[in-house]
Amino acid sequence: MQALSDDTFRRVSEIMYEAIGLSFSQSKKPLISSRLASRIHKIGLPSFEAYVDLLEDHNQAAEFQMAVDLLTTNETYFFREPKHYELLEQDLLRRKDRGPLAVWSAASSFGDEAYSTAMLLSDMQRKGQLGPDWSILGTDISHRVLLSAAEGIYPQDRLRHVPQEQMHRYCLQGEGPATGQVMMQESLRAHVRFGQLNLTKSFEGLGPFDVIFLRNVLIYFDTPTKIAVVDRVLATLRPGGLFFMGTAEGRVPCKTRLEALIPGAYRKAA
């Protein structure tokens, strides 16, 4: 198979940017080439050009979704960036109102973030620190990762930062062929739901939320798209609500007024 040409690389970039806002600089060309090559070989196409023709066919939505999965990174694990969960717990403890609480994991990937948050909130409910009316919405662009998230089954290593007490309380240990895997308990999964969402498109009617996680997804967008996405997401956050980004993502790109709390954590101005 011939190498990925500059013209075909531009076609891939334009398709992904127009459809879901993914932005690829020229430096990403080797990455795109390596990730698509194995897929092209597997489905028996002769070239990158033929594969891009397939992606432009609106009747090939499943293959387009496969390409999205290949070109985005979904590495994650439970209780990633623990300082964020500590801040969330402290903030909720200071709340006088124990009424409904709505959390949005806006780039939920395989659901590690959503279920980590659910473990924290469930623990607080058990201690009488939080009412029973809490819910978590996890959304992602990838249908494949959402199907996995809804199943709630994970390699045990992904829960390496989960205390044993929580493991026993919220996880079922796999046996036989499933040894080394864990499943989230139904009591935990009942508070969590997942749905597909493109953050670069309008999503009117969503929210309002008390807490939003938008971590480690903005790296895929150019600056104008980042600003539009963050402001659109923050429009669904209640005044005074908490907003979390990845600590390595730098300054939050938005026009909405925020108060910085700790690295990657903000409060929306009242």
Catalytic residues: 35, 140
Q: How far is CA 258 from CA 185, 234, 265, 268, 269, in A?
A: 36, 10, 10, 5, 5
Q: How far is CA 141 from CA 73, 120, 176, 268, in A?
A: 12, 25, 33, 25
Paired tokens of 233: 């997401």
Q: How far is CA 38 from CA 23, 50, 233, 246, in A?
A: 22, 14, 35, 30
Residue 145's identity, in one-letter code, is V
CA distance 102 to 21: 27
Residue 125 falls in which region: left (phi positive, over 0), alpha (psi -120 to 50) or beta: alpha
Scan for tokens 């101005």, then name that residue: 269
Per DSSP, what are the bridge partners of residue 154? Answer: 182
Strand order in the sheet with 153-155: 153-155, 181-184, 171-173
CA 132, 109, 122: angle at the middle one, nearest 5? 20
